[in-house]
Amino acid sequence: MRVLLLGGTSEARTLAARLHPRVDVISSLAGRVPDPALPVGEVRIGGFGGVDGMRRWLVESKVGGVVDATHPFAATITANAAEVCAELQIPHLVLARPAWPPGDAILVKSDRDAAKAVQDNGFTRVFLTTGRSGVGVFTDVDAWFLIRAVTAPDLRTLPRRHELLLSRGPYGYDDERALLVEHRIDCLVTKNSGGEMTRPKLDAAAALGVSVVMVDRPALPGGVTTVSTVDDAVAWVSSLGRT
């Protein structure tokens, strides 16, 4: 049984390590970041070419199951995998890490709504952690930004007043707290990514009374089988071919 594991997350790497070499797993990465953390086992890198490309690839590669362990905000690849697997009747699982409880955060539906929330609430010193592709909508917001991203956003779309911090998690509580204090941050903008690797910024914000604007997750496609832990994903893969 060959399994395609859509990855780009720590959970996907953990799952690959748990399954390899017992299961024939091919991990797939989008290829967005230079020098990505690689899972053990076979890896392919790059997009499939939309729904048609993924359909072709799954058939040619004789894949008998797909686990989508991509980031909760990677909505396009998740929709494509759900559609193609339903059509080809390939068993399909989404491994979605639990969302963070929003607490007192200002909840918004999109990066654009997050920018509006920052403007409307009059925040002046913003820690922006929504990733390189979401920065452009903040260009005209009248505030100073500390922008943290793994790779540099398009420099033409950055807000006028900002500092760019290129880094990759995980992040620890003490460092996150020090960053908020040093830059006199009054608002943290984050996606509701969930997971432990980037959670300490929320704990630090709560401890310092820093406001949080949180972008809600996109909905999963209807009818997909979902688990929230690597253990459950291992059990699901192990059950393939038994019926």
Ligand X SMILES: NC(=O)c1ccc[n+]([C@@H]2O[C@H](COP(=O)([O-])OP(=O)(O)OC[C@H]3O[C@@H](n4cnc5c(N)ncnc54)[C@H](OP(=O)(O)O)[C@@H]3O)[C@@H](O)[C@H]2O)c1
Q: Does residue 173 touch ligand X according to CB under 6 A? A: no
What residues between 69 and 108 interact with ligand X by CB under 6 A? 70-71, 73-77, 80
Q: Is 194 in the site for ligand X (CB under 6 A)?
A: no
Q: Which of 230, 217, 242 is nearest to 75 (CA)?
A: 217
Q: Which is nearer to ligand X, 77 or 186 (CB)?
A: 77
Write down the H helix ranges in 44-172. Answer: 50-60, 75-88, 111-121
Cβ neighbours of residue 50 closer than 8 Å, sequence gap 6 or more:
80
Question: What mask of x and - would describe binding to ligand X in positions 33 to 52, judged by CB under 6 A?
Answer: --------------xxxx--
Comparing CB distances to ligand X, the nearer of 53 and 64 is 53
Sheet with 2-6, strands from edge to edge, namely 42-45, 24-29, 2-6, 65-68, 92-95, 225-227
H/E stretch holding 14:
helix 10-19
Residue 74 CB, shortest distance to ligand X, in Å, is: 3
Quote the least distance from Cβ 18 to ligand X, whole Å: 18
Q: CB 153: neighbour CB atoms within 10 A?
A: 20
Closest CA to 105 of 193, 186, 174, 189: 189
Of residues 119 through 138, those in contact with ligand X by CB under 6 A are: 131
Binding status of residue 170 toward ligand X by CB under 6 A: no
Residue 7 lies near ligand X (rule: CB under 6 A): yes
- The amino acid at residue 236 is W
- Nearest approach, Cβ of residue 16 and ligand X (Å): 12
Residues that bind ligand X (CB under 6 A): 6-9, 28-30, 32, 47-50, 53-54, 70-71, 73-77, 80, 131, 191
